[in-house]
Amino acid sequence: MKADVTIFEMGPRDGLQNESKFINTFDKIKLVNLLSKSGLSKIETASFVSSRWVPQMADGEQVMDGIQREQGVSYTALTPNKKGLDRAIQANADEIAIFGSASEGFSKANINKSIKESLQLFRPIVDAAPMPVRGYVSCVTDCPYDGPTNPDKVIKVAEELLAMGCYEISLGDTLGSANPDSTKKLLSELLSVFQTEELAVHFHDTQGKAIENITIALEFGITTFDSSIAGLGGCPYAPGAKGNVSTEAVVDFLESKGFRTGIEREDLKIAAQFARSLSQ
């Protein structure tokens, strides 16, 4: 079945990165394999970051090596620097992502760099990457350290990432504090500069507003949605943030609106049950 929206699965990365107890590699692989069978076309599978910063993601190579790759599925990974890119190439990641922030406070807390320094770090990654590169911009409406974010700041970072060669910008509601009004304001300003195809949305669901925010994004013509199986997750550097909106809820919602997701709901249910069993 041809899909007319894309769901970008975050569970194995954004979902698991925040788990305090180390989840064994075999279980991480099993989760990715279950997700791969459901019809998802994009799965963020690993994170090649410093294990000092995010110990849970230290086994990215083993996870990438152990999964059963399904045809038509892109297995993606986060790479904050050249070392991350080298690891992603070695591990045969189909796609990578660099991750910047619209706010200085989160940029510093998450990657120990100012926004300007982070962009200098990212440019050579995109230049050298032999695979497509996605760009995240975090804290698009609010930052846990700096408060509300002006859309101008999001535009500036997104413009830089696209100019470097990212094929898409995922707009990170890192805290899960966006609401329909702030989402509308953000997207109306961004879409005076960017094309809808250049943007994806990445809502965390701390306040239960993610589906309402996705409704707004759909009205603006956006068709790529990040979500996490069973709603697992959060960011270790965004205190209090809950996981991404659950993949099951996004699939149900989009299908109810007549969109084809290409995802088998029963397979997703099995993956969600397993994902829940991994979470504390």
Binding interface with ligand HMG (CB under 6 A): 14, 17, 47-50, 52-54, 78, 80-81, 83-84, 87, 99, 110-112, 136, 138, 172, 174, 202, 235, 237
Q: Which two tokens stand for residue 89?
A: 């190439």
CB of 260 to ligand HMG, least distance (A): 26
166 counts as catalytic: no
Query: Which parts of this chain interact with Mg ion (CB under 5 A)?
Result: 14
CB of 44 to ligand HMG, least distance (A): 9
E-strand ranges in 212-258 read 224-227
Closest to 11 measured CA to CA, from 110, 23, 2, 213? 23
CB under 5 to 8 A by kind: which of ligand HMG, Mg ion, none does 134 bind? none
Dist CA 252 CA 99 (whole Å): 28
**Cα angle for residues 57, 96, 178 (degrees, 5° grid):** 80
For 1, 195, 200, the CA distances from 263, given in Å and listed in that order, are 9, 26, 18
Sign of the Cα pseudo-torsion (144, 146, 149, 153, in order): negative
CB of 2 to Mg ion, least distance (A): 28
Of the candidates 139, 143, 166, 235, the residue annotated as catalytic is 235
Active site (catalytic) residues: 235
